[in-house]
């Protein structure tokens, strides 16, 4: 079983919990990402996603320059530990219907894994298996 550390993104884009919604959204746009980890120091306290932006902020006509991201972020943060396996992470993401999972070590943010990372890993595995099967009947 592969550890999640083999596929995580280490350079995590974050914002402080007191940042405005607009600041967080700009960081997401500038970095072409669908979510941003909200931190207090180096400890993740929430995650702010495109869906949070639309449903909890824009649709409610909040002032994006004045309201803090901590007021609209997803607070029930699910995290992975560095020693978790990719398959375990996939099952957790599937069960909880989440696409981005911060990775921590001793409570501190060390990376992030996305469903896209896991699907790429699965795709690579399937391709390797197909190659092995293609040659298994040869003498």
Look at residue 59 and tell me whether its pLDDT is greater than 60: yes
* 3 state SS of 115: helix
Domain locations along the chain = 4-134
**What is the architecture, at CATH level 2, of domain 4-134?**
Roll (3.10)
Q: CA-CA distance, 18 to 8, in Å (whole number)?
A: 26
Look at residue 133 and tell me whether its pLDDT is greater than 70: no
Look at residue 47 and tell me whether its pLDDT is greater than 80: yes
Tell me the pLDDT tens digit for each residue of 81-111. Answer: 999 999 899 999 999 999 999 999 999 999 9
pLDDT band of residue 120 (cuts 50, 70, 90) is confident
- The whole-model pTM stands at 0.84
- The bridge status of strand 14-16 relative to strand 35-40 is parallel
Question: Residue 120: which H helix or E strand, with range?
Answer: helix 115-136
Check residue 122 and give its pLDDT. Answer: 76
Look at residue 134 and tell me whether its pLDDT is greater than 60: no
Nearest CA to 58 among 39, 72, 47, 45? Answer: 72
- 120: number of CA atoms within 13 Å, CB side? 8
């Amino acid at each position: 079983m592969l550890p999640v550390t083999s596929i995580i993104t280490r350079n995590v884009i974050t914002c402080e919990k007191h940042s405005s919604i607009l600041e967080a959204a700009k960081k997401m746009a500038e970095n072409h990402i669908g979510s941003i980890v909200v931190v207090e120091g180096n400890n993740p306290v929430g995650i702010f996603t495109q869906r949070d932006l639309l449903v909890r902020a824009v649709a409610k006509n909040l002032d994006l320059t004045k309201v803090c991201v901590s007021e609209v972020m997803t607070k029930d943060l699910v995290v992975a530990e560095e020693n978790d396996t990719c398959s375990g992470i996939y099952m957790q993401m599937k069960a909880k219907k989440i696409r981005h999972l911060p990775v921590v070590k001793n409570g501190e943010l060390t990376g992030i894994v996305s469903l896209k990372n896991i699907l790429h890993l699965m795709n690579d595995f399937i391709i390797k298996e197909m190659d092995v099967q293609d040659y298994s009947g040869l003498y």
